[in-house]
Structure formats: C-alpha cells, structure tokens
A and B are shown apart, each in its own frame.
Chain A
Amino acid sequence: MTKILSIKDLHVDVGNTSIVNGLNLDISSGETHAIMGPNGSGKSTLAKTIAGHPDYKIRSGTIMYRDHDLNDLSIEERSNLGVFLGFQYPIEIPGLSNTAFLKAAINAKRKYHNLGDLSASDFLVDLKEKSRMMDIEQKFLSRGVNEGFSGGEKKRNEILQMLMLEPVLSILDETDSGLDIDSMKVVASGVNAFRNENTASLIITHYERLLNYITPDYVHVFHNGAIIKTGDIQLARDLEEKGYEWLTNP
C-alpha cells in the first residue's frame, strides 16, 4: 500500500475568502474515501484545488500526490500523472465531438509519457466497450462534448472519461446527484471497475445511496472547509438519518 494523496494543514482562498481551513487527509492505494458535508462547506473547492483550478489559491499547507507537490504542476500535468476530477457540473463544448476529445486526451497523456499515439482501432475498441458499460449510445459519441446531454448522461459521460483515461486517483464530485436508480447502478459499476489495489477514489456525495453500491473504506464529514469527523459507512447512515446538526452543533 503506497500513499497516493497526502494533504497537510491546507488553507485555500478564493479571492479574499478562506474556504478550506486546515484540512488534513491521507489516501493510500486501494482505498476509497467518501466526503459528505453541507452545501457550501468547501467540498468542490477542495476537488478543484487538487485539480489545479486557477481561482483557488493555496495560502498554506501542501498537497502531495505520490512524489509530487501538486502546487508545482500545471492542470494538464496533474491529469497526465493520473489525477482525475469528475465534475459536479460537467461542461458542454459544442463542435468538439466526444470521440475527438477523448482521443486528444488519451494521446496527450501518452505523449507526456513518451508514448506514440494510440492506434485508431485500439482506441475505438476500448471506447466501444467502455461506453457500452456506461450505457452511452454510439451516436452520442459523435455529438459535441456533453452537448445536449441530460443531467444523468453528463454524469455517466464523466465516468466514461475516467475509464478511458485510466487515472490513479479519481475524485468524483457529486457524480451521483440527479441520477435515477438505473444510472446510479451504472455509475457505481464504473467506479467499481476502476477500483483496484493501485488506484484510489475520493467520492464527494450528499447521499448514502451511492455508498451502498461503492462501499467506502472511510467516510469523512466536511464542515467549514475541514474534516470534523471520520468513520465508516455507518457514519453515512447516521448522517442520512440525523442530518449534520448533531455534529456541527453538538
């Protein structure tokens, strides 16, 4: 088991506002962590900070990803080294087909690792298999990225991108929000297919539901930009029942 992500006393600002306040978190290979917490507590801020969003400034503390201080790496380098962020609100890019986008992303990563382009046929075989798994019809792939996709389709498309890019650390920001039961199962099967002893997941969610399909090793409660309690799946069930009140206002 090796350490994949190690966050120490992290403080993150947006403009003049401090959003993440003294966060500590360690994730090792093979582990799945869930983060739950009220709206506006800073969960997406944490996710985007790890991915390198320029609006989120690390005031103090460190984020180590394997041997790298993430602050030294560009957004695309982080991705090429295996960090994946599934967006809470996936972005639409009309006129850039999903297929062209995925191919560009995969080949960018291969280039970073001094590999040649993936052959068109290998790419298509892989894409076909994984899109079938994510229940995404072929005709969707020739459309613009997320263009005209329903909420649920966009989320399944995020998981498809994750499967195609084969990251090491996958951060999924509310991928389960807005999904019907069937989509939820599809997304869970995608995440479970990704899990192995070399990868790690950080799953941000509001609901225990998803966690029944993807059993996390740890459940953290996020509040005011820091983790205030850590437990296992039972903690998620308690939160489902009692809300956050009993933890934030004991």
Chain B
Amino acid sequence: MANQSLNQSDHMDKLQSFIENDSRNLPDWVNQGRESAFKNYKDICNKQLKTATWKNTKLNSMLDNFFEKEFTDQETSLNQFELDSTLEDSLRIFFHSGAFFTEEEMPSYIRFLKGNYSEENQAIFRLENSSERQSIPYLLNNIISRDALLIETAENQHVEKLIHIVHLPHKNANIAPRLNIVLAKNSSIKIIDEQLSSGDSIINNYIDIKCEEHSSLDYYKVSHAQNDSHQINSLNLDQEANTNVNVFSLDLGADSASSLNHLKLNGENSNVSCSTLFMPSIDRSSHHNIIIDHLSDKSSSSVNYRGIINDHGVGSFFGKIKVTKERRNTSAFMQNKNLLLSDDSKISTIPILEIYNDDTECSHSATSGSLDKEKLFYLKTRGINEYDAKNFLIKSFMDELVSQIKSRRLREYVNGLILGYRKD
C-alpha cells in the first residue's frame, strides 16, 4: 500500500480557488460555511492524515486526484438508469450530480433545496462547527456539497412507508452527498440509503442523525461495488433517552472504501445496534472504523461486523467502545468475524473496549479464517457443487446479521446482492 505523500500546498491552493471560483451563484451563507470549513480543514488535515485511520486507506491518493474529477452540475433524467424494482413501493428520492430530486410528491418531513437557497432552507444543511466534527470528510463535504437532504419527523409521527434514497451511478465525478436525519420525540422511521456502482469517482457521504427521546430508527446503508473509486461513508449519531437505533450496512468495496461511524449514547436507556457486512473482492478494499461513546447510564450497544474478503481484496475493522467511570448499568458487545476466500485476501481487526468501571456487561471478540473444509465436504457429499456449496457457506456466515433485517423484501434484496457479487 503505497502511501505517497500529498502535495499539501498545491491541494490547498486548488481548494481555495474552487471556493472562490465556483460559478454556481451560491448565496453568502453557503460561501461562508465553505470558508469556515476550509479554515478548519487547513488546521487539521496534516495532523489527521498521520493517524492510523487515514494511513491505511489510500486517502492521500484520493486527495491527490481530488480535482481531476468533475464537480458535475447537469440535470438528470431517470430514464438513463436501470433501476431494480424490488423495493419499488417505497418513497424514493434520488441523488445525482450533486443534487437530490424526486419524481413524486414529497411529504412535509422530507426536504431538500431544489435550487432554492433561501434563508429558511439553511436548516436543511445543519452546518455545525463543534470540535468533534472536525474530520477531513466532514469538512470536505461542507466545502463541496451544494445540496442536502433533511428527513425530519414530527413528534409522535410513525412513518410506515420505507424511505429509499438512491444514489445514482456517476462517472469521473467528485460528489459529497449530505444526509440529515432528525427524529422528533416519540417518532419512528425506516430508511434505506443505497449507493449504486460508480466509476472513477470520489464519493464522500456524510450522514448526521439525531434521535430525540423515545424515537426509533432503522437505517440501512447499501453500497454496491465502486470501480476505481474512493468512497467514504461518515455517520454521526446522537441518541437521547429511551431511543432505539438499528444501523445495518452492506459494503461491497471500492478502490478504497471507508466507513467512519461515531455513535453517541447521550441519554438513559438508549440502545444502538450496528451491523455491517463488508465484502471486498478483486482488488477492492473496505475499511471500517467505529467509535461508540456511552455517555449515559443504562445504555447498550451491540456492534457486529462481518467481512468476506475475496481475491486480492483488503478489509479492516477498528472498533472502540468507550464507557467512562461514572456510568452505571451499561452493556457493550462487539464482534468482528471475517472469512478469507483466497490466499491473497487480507484482513486486519482491532476491537477495543475502553471500560473504566465494573458495572458494564461487556464482551468482544474477533476471528478470521477461511471456509470450513468439513462443511464444504458435507455439502458436496450431498451432490452440491463447489460453487454452490461456497455460496451456501457464505450465506450461512452472513445470515446471523441478514436475518435481523425485519423487512422480508429487503432481506431478500440483500441476500441477492451477497450471492450475486461472486458472479462479478
């Protein structure tokens, strides 16, 4: 993994001129947001690139190529895309060329700009400048993005229909989708956020979620394989008291794909479960980084990552759960299991529990291995060929996570993607 060093001054100059010359007639509040993000970016970039998270993920080369991609701005028509119809009766919102659009009437709890930069639409961006958000992807997202999607439920609102955000494929593009989810008190919603296959692109997704008391959220992130592309999915989650959040991700890898999750349990009885399946094959990679802060009593977290690495694929898991001394009655569970399908596949895994009290029920484990030879033998003695037998074992390995998906159709869709990927 060559870690060429970034030509920083050149990079900063280009960013500066991007902000100054963006011809798209943006209002002051957007430009001010960009400038303040840029200022912070200059402060932290150098230092962050030296941390382990960035060192291993080819981020330098992403920044090097940053301005070779187009910041596209054309109108998009859905006709040019082949879309799967499995989840069709959901409410669908599309993202392409830096903007969100839809073909149907949107309910009032879903908002995006549609080119309208009025003052009241500022709220859709939810630009925040707190110190914990000073990450490279967040700041770059602030600099680049010119649209955001806000899903904000009302108090006591329980949205039945599945919300399906479809990120359409790009070629040679630099995009920074921005998704804000706010759940008001005692509300619930289910969202699937799907990234279709792009080529030669940089995709910097930033997702910010805030759950007020007694709310509950199912958030599914599906990332198809990205070709010759860099993809970052950052997720920042704040949970208040008596909230339940299930995050499920499927990541099929990219030239470099990274997920950075920071989950904060701020209120009592907040529970989060975060499950991820990652399956880089060919020469793709898939890196995962999760930090959970237990900031209140009686909070519980369950982290379950499974990797299947094929061909020359590379995967990594870094997980940290932090529970401070004062916390009472918390529980933390973290597991990472990996399956290596070829001799050339690589994985590294670091699960860490930082627990400074003895009132936390906790466990963590990490295992990596190849397909069980005896299981393969058993299946073959029943007449099942090597290819199918391996697929059964892959499905078996993933099933513990996939079976948690409540919607049957979504479960079948995910299973289809898991098994389909070997035909690549």
The reply on A165 being an interface residue by CB < 8 A is yes
Contact of A87 among B378, B386, B396, B397 (CB under 8 A): B378
Interface positions, chain A 73-111, Cβ under 8 Å from B, are: 74-76, 78-80, 84-85, 87, 90-91, 93-96, 101, 104-105, 108-109
Question: Could you give, for residues 357-400 of chain B, a 1 whenever the CB lies within 8 Å of some chain A CB and a 0 otherwise?
Answer: 00000000000000001110111111111101000110111111
**If the complex has contacts A93-B396, A144-B396, are A80 and B383 also in contact, measured as CB distance less than 8 A?**
yes
Question: Which of the listed residues B373, B382, B388, B393 has the most CB atoms from chain A within 10 Å of its own CB?
Answer: B382
**If the complex has contacts A94-B399, A94-B400, A95-B400, are A105 and B384 also in contact, measured as CB distance less than 8 A?**
yes
Contact of B395 among A74, A80, A84, A95 (CB under 8 A): A95
Residues on the B chain within 8 Å of A109, using CB: 383
Q: Are B375 and A104 in contact (CB under 8 A)?
A: no
The reply on A213 being an interface residue by CB < 8 A is no
Q: Report the bound CA distance from A51 to B379 in whole Å.
A: 12
Q: Are B396 and A94 in contact (CB under 8 A)?
A: yes
The reply on A161 being an interface residue by CB < 8 A is yes
Residues on the A chain within 8 Å of B121, using CB: none
Residues on the B chain within 8 Å of A108, using CB: 382-385, 388
Distance (whole angstroms) from the CB of B403 to the closest CB of chain A: 7
The reply on A53 being an interface residue by CB < 8 A is yes
Q: Report the bound CA distance from A132 to B395 in whole Å.
A: 28
Residues on the A chain within 8 Å of B396, using CB: 93-96, 144
Residues on the A chain within 8 Å of B373, using CB: 54-55
Q: Are B380 and A74 in contact (CB under 8 A)?
A: yes
Q: Are A79 and B392 in contact (CB under 8 A)?
A: no
Q: Report the bound CA distance from A51 to B377 in whole Å.
A: 9
How many contacts A-B (CB < 8 Å)? 74
Main secondary structure of the interface of B (DSSP, over half): helix
Chain A interface size, as a band, is 20 to 34
Q: Are B381 and A93 in contact (CB under 8 A)?
A: no
Q: Report the bound CA distance from A84 to B381 in whole Å.
A: 7
Chain B interface size, as a band, is 20 to 34
Contact of B381 among A85, A96, A112 (CB under 8 A): A85
Q: Report the bound CA distance from A165 to B375 in whole Å.
A: 18
Residues on the B chain within 8 Å of A78, using CB: 381
Q: Are B383 and A79 in contact (CB under 8 A)?
A: yes
**If the complex has contacts A96-B396, A104-B392, are A53 and B377 also in contact, measured as CB distance less than 8 A?**
yes
Residues on the B chain within 8 Å of A90, using CB: 378
Closest residue of chain A to B378 (Cβ to Cβ) is A91
Residues on the B chain within 8 Å of A55, using CB: 373
Q: Report the bound CA distance from A101 to B374 in whole Å.
A: 16
Distance (whole angstroms) from the CB of A210 to the closest CB of chain B: 22
Residues on the B chain within 8 Å of A54, using CB: 373, 377
Interface positions, chain B 251-276, Cβ under 8 Å from A, are: none
Q: Report the bound CA distance from A55 to B376 in whole Å.
A: 13
Residues on the B chain within 8 Å of A94, using CB: 396, 399-400
Q: Are B403 and A95 in contact (CB under 8 A)?
A: yes
Q: Report the bound CA distance from A188 to B380 in whole Å.
A: 25
Distance (whole angstroms) from the CB of A236 to the closest CB of chain B: 27
**If the complex has contacts A75-B380, A96-B392, A96-B396, are A91 and B374 also in contact, measured as CB distance less than 8 A?**
yes
Distance (whole angstroms) from the CB of A104 to the closest CB of chain B: 6
Q: Are B383 and A105 in contact (CB under 8 A)?
A: yes
Question: Which of the listed residues B380, B388, B397 has the most CB atoms from chain A within 10 Å of its own CB?
Answer: B380
Closest residue of chain B to A93 (Cβ to Cβ) is B396
Q: Are A76 and B399 in contact (CB under 8 A)?
A: no
Q: Are A93 and B393 in contact (CB under 8 A)?
A: yes
Residues on the B chain within 8 Å of A75, using CB: 377, 380-381
Q: Are B393 and A76 in contact (CB under 8 A)?
A: no
Residues on the A chain within 8 Å of B400, using CB: 94-95
Residues on the B chain within 8 Å of A96, using CB: 392, 395-396, 399
Q: Are A105 and B382 in contact (CB under 8 A)?
A: yes
Contact of A76 among B383, B395, B397, B398 (CB under 8 A): B383
Q: Report the bound CA distance from A161 to B381 in whole Å.
A: 11
Closest residue of chain B to A83 (Cβ to Cβ) is B381
Closest residue of chain B to A74 (Cβ to Cβ) is B380
Q: Are B378 and A95 in contact (CB under 8 A)?
A: no
- A residues whose Cβ falls under 8 Å from a Cβ of B: 48, 51-55, 74-76, 78-80, 84-85, 87, 90-91, 93-96, 101, 104-105, 108-109, 112, 144, 161, 165
7 A-B pairs closest in CB distance: A95-B399, A75-B380, A79-B383, A105-B382, A91-B378, A95-B396, A108-B383
- B residues whose Cβ falls under 8 Å from a Cβ of A: 373-375, 377-386, 388, 392-393, 395-400, 403
> What are 13 contact pairs spanning A and B, CB under 8 A?
A51-B377, A53-B377, A76-B385, A79-B380, A79-B381, A90-B378, A91-B378, A93-B375, A95-B399, A105-B384, A108-B383, A108-B385, A109-B383
- 10 extra A-B contacts, CB within 8 A, seeds A79-B381, A79-B382, A94-B399: A55-B373, A76-B381, A87-B378, A93-B392, A94-B400, A95-B399, A95-B400, A104-B388, A108-B384, A112-B383
